[in-house]
Amino acid sequence: MNFISKIKRRIFTRYIDFVDKLFLKQRAKVSEILKSQNENVPLCFITISFNNEFLVAEQIRLLKKHITDKNYVHIIADNSNEKTKRKQIEFVCKKGNVKYVSLPFNLFNKIDRRGSHSHGLAMNWIYSNIIKKIKPIYFGFIDHDIFPFNPYSVIERIGSQDFYGELRNRTLENEKKIWYLWPGFCFYHFEKTRSIQLNFLPCRVDNIFLDAGGANFYSLYSKYDMDKLSFCKPVVLQNIKDGNNYHSDYVQIVDEFWLHAINGSDWAKNGGKNNFLKEYLKSV
């Protein structure tokens, strides 16, 4: 990397850090959640939602049906960039009796559109402003377009590990392994991570780009031997149409018992999957 590129990279990194710090300081209506929620709940799911109330409603329904962990808490953190959608998602949450948080204005949703950075900001905000205050025994983030379709225990899957989820890894030419957990399906033992400054933003390590959640490589994942941990079983891709576009034509099976619609909110503008899901999810 030449000198100019290094300067540009440094400026960009400081810009992202500045936006993150400003975002964390913004306030949202979470007082009701903090007052009503006891500390040390067994498990807390956090869903980052975006512009699709149907996905949220189905996920709420299927978590209630298939998650076998007792007394879990489900929080919908609404990162939508459309006010109408926020109202619809809030209504769905009230109907489903789950907790709803309307996240603050996100620069990366409107002015400087960066989907991965928007998602990372949302995760950082929830972790700092809610998770660190209610102190659940376990907590995890799931995308709004991923649904359990068979009985599943998060706590059993984590087992004796400090975290668990879907692995994303890169191996460099020098055999160095750079890895992180996919932010759409990642779970943590709070007590083992509370003293670490978690950062769910994207980053670059040795000039390799890591998507949302990747910045935790520095503070968390690099301290562990990847080969001694267990992660989600390999993802199986299923073609639901005749094309070969990843975002519009495929769905995934995550950890055997979860369906990931991929691009459920149609942020990639390749065609949403609501019609497919309405038919498929009837049977689960």
- Per-residue confidence (pLDDT) for residue 233, from 0 to 100: 85
pTM here is 0.88
Pure H helices in 112-226: 115-126, 132-134, 154-158, 190-193, 216-219
Residue 68 confidence (pLDDT): 98
pLDDT band at 6; cut points 50, 70, 90 = low
Q: How far apart, in Å, are the Cα atoms of 273 and each of 93, 145, 146, 240, 284?
A: 21, 9, 12, 10, 16
Q: pLDDT tens for residues 182-238?
A: 999 999 999 999 888 899 998 888 778 889 999 999 899 999 999 999 999 888 888
- Higher local confidence (pLDDT), 209 or 19: 209
Domain map (residue ranges) of the chain: 3-233
Reply yes or no on whether the pLDDT at 111 is more than 60. Answer: no
CATH code that applies to domain 3-233: 3.90.550
How far is the C-alpha of 192 from the C-alpha of 267, rounded, in Å?
A: 34
CA atoms within 13 A on the CB side of 272: 15
pLDDT digits (tens, 9 = 90+) for 234-275: 888 888 887 888 888 899 999 999 999 998 877 777 777 888
